[in-house]
């Protein structure tokens, strides 16, 4: 029987095969991409040559996420990844429903704003398997929240956004899984809402940040 919190530092592609099939009611994650940094003033800088390029095989990643999840999958992603991820889940439509979600930011980063339109939205693909939880009847797919402000991670999501998604797509006591948890914001929100949480993070700095935020016993490379 698992505790309410479980963290694992390492490659999510090595961790996920340890999870039983159809054991996760909600997977909520933000696919990582290289080239994003944050200056001391809080503004992001992006290496355009490598931004939005994932560091792992997307189809293999999605195959494992699909296998372990018995309810709903939400994957935030870069613009260059959106079509591939949507197409993947469109191919699964006989098993449920797929939608594109949009996070409209009320305070987008002013990076390069003098020369181009501000990037004021982020995209996510939502897939609910038949029988999955959905607590938001007749709700639109655009979520309006400001950007995260804690600066613990360059792509940290707004806690109100994560809270809304968790409440919409899970019930109290459910397990929320984030295979690319960064500094642990999804877990912080999930636990605050009475859910359980399983999180995986490859990078040591962000993993240690998540550990401090959870004040918890961490399971390091020993999940079974």
Residue 224 is assigned to a structural domain of this protein: no
pLDDT of amino acid 149? 60
- Interval 120-146 mean pLDDT: 95
Higher pLDDT, 119 or 218: 119
Q: Over the chain, what HEC string results?
A: CCCCEEEEECCHHHHHHHCCCCCEEEEEEECCCCCEEECCCCCEEECCCCCCCCCCCHHHHHHHHHHHEEEEEEEEECHHHHHHHHHHHHCCHHHEEEEEEEEEECCCCCCCCCCCCCCCEEEEEEEEECCCCCCCCCCCCEEEECCCCCCCCCCCCCHHHHHHHHHHHCCCCCEEEECCCCCCHHHHHHHHCCCEEEEEECCHHHHHHHHHHHCCCCCCCCCC
Split at pLDDT 50, 70, 90, the class of 51 is very low
pLDDT of 36 strictly over 60: no
In a domain, 127, yes or no: yes
Judge whether 223 lies within some domain: no
In a domain, 193, yes or no: yes
Which phi and psi angles does 38 have, rounded to 5°? -130, 125
Confidence of residue 80 (pLDDT cuts 50, 70, 90): confident
Band (154; pLDDT cuts 50, 70, 90): low
Write down the pTM of the prediction: 0.84
Domain that holds residue 169: 5-214
In a domain, 106, yes or no: yes
- The confidence band for 217, taking pLDDT boundaries of 50, 70 and 90, is very low
> Is 222 a member of any domain?
no
| Mean pLDDT, rounded, for 54-67 | 86
pLDDT greater than 50 at residue 53: no
Residue 221 falls inside a structural domain: no
181: phi then psi, degrees, rounded to nearest 5: -80, -10
Per the structure, how many domains does the chain have? 1
- Determine, yes or no, domain membership for 109: yes
The pLDDT value recorded for residue 214 is: 83
- Torsional sign, CA 197, 203, 208, 213: negative
pLDDT band at 78 (very low <50, low <70, confident <90, very high): confident
More confident residue, 85 or 38: 85
CB proximity list for 52: less than 8 A, separation 6 or greater: 33, 78, 79, 80, 81
- pLDDT of residue 99 exceeding 60: yes
Q: What is the CATH number of the domain that holds 148?
A: 3.40.50.150
């Amino acid at each position: 029987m698992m505790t309410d919190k479980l963290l694992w530092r390492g490659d999510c592609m090595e961790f996920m095969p340890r999870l039983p099939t159809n054991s996760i009611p909600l997977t909520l994650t933000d696919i990582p991409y290289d080239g994003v940094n944050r200056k001391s003033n809080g503004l992001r800088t992006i290496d355009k040559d490598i931004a939005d390029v994932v560091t792992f095989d997307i189809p293999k990643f999605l195959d494992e996420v699909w296998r372990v999840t018995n309810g709903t999958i939400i994957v935030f992603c870069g613009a260059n990844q959106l079509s591939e991820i949507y197409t993947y889940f469109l191919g699964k439509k006989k098993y449920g429903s797929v939608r594109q979600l949009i996070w409209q930011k009320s305070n987008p980063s002013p990076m390069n704003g003098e020369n181009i339109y501000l990037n004021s939205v982020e995209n996510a693909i939502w897939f609910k398997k038949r029988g999955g939880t959905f607590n938001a009847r007749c709700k639109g797919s655009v979520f309006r929240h400001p950007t995260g402000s804690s600066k613990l991670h360059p792509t940290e999501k707004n806690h109100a956004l994560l809270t809304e998604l968790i409440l919409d797509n899970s019930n109290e006591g459910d397990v929320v899984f984030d295979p690319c948890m960064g500094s642990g914001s999804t877990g912080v929100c999930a636990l605050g809402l009475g859910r359980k949480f399983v999180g995986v993070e490859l990078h040591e700095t962000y993993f240690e940040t998540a550990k401090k935020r959870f004040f918890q016993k961490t399971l390091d490379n020993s999940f079974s």
